[in-house]
Amino acid sequence: MLYTHIDSPVGPLLLASDNDGLRLIEFHTPRYAMRRDADWREGDDATLRMTRAQLDEYFAGKRRDFDLPLAPRGTEFQRSVWQTLATIPYGETISYAQLATRVGKPTAMRAVGAANGRNPLPIVLPCHRVIGADGSLTGFGGGLPTKEFLLNLEGALPAANADLFTS
């Protein structure tokens, strides 16, 4: 597993990949840090370079979709939730209930929310686009200010939260 650190408008990000593709985008203070083992080494490869370039374009407002080889590890259920996240269009938000319905588990909102919270590829698999049914910003692995920043960047911040973190 190769990893590198990059700077971003939401703080430092750790990127990790292996032969299968991009495995991880981790915020500076992750809620669920991926365990590192002896196979991890700092380095660079084509996937990490493409990820860095596409994230730079996204933060500059020049990219709306990512085209990267993704290889997140998780249960079959988690992967189905993460694949569904990829279908939420740039600039739009959905509720956890809507996400559960799209996954085909309309009564499993808590399980869907838990899988959403374990997303190893935030931003690229846009878990920040999932909000409370009332339009509230709810938990996010990068913190609510980061979620607010990403939704503002995309023009998708619900009006009720437009000044959530300003004085």
> Which of 67, 64, 71, 68 lies closest to 92, judged by CA?
64
Burial bucket for residue 85 (CB in 10 Å: 0-12, 13-18, 19+): buried
d(CA 37, CA 74): 17
pTM of this prediction? Answer: 0.89
Dihedral of CA 58/67/34/78: which sign? Answer: positive
Q: Which residue(s) pair with 4 in the sheet?
A: 15
- In the set 13, 127, 137, 156, the catalytic residue is 127
| Residues 69 and 22 sit within 8 Å (Cβ to Cβ) | yes
Does the active-site annotation cover 28?
A: no
Position 37 scores a pLDDT of 78
> Which of 100, 102, 160 lies closest to 136, judged by CA?
160
Beta-sheet strands, E only, within 11-103: 13-18, 21-27, 41-42, 94-95
Q: Rounded mean pLDDT of 92-108?
A: 95
Q: Rounded mean pLDDT of 14-34?
A: 88
Share of the chain above pLDDT 90, in %: 79
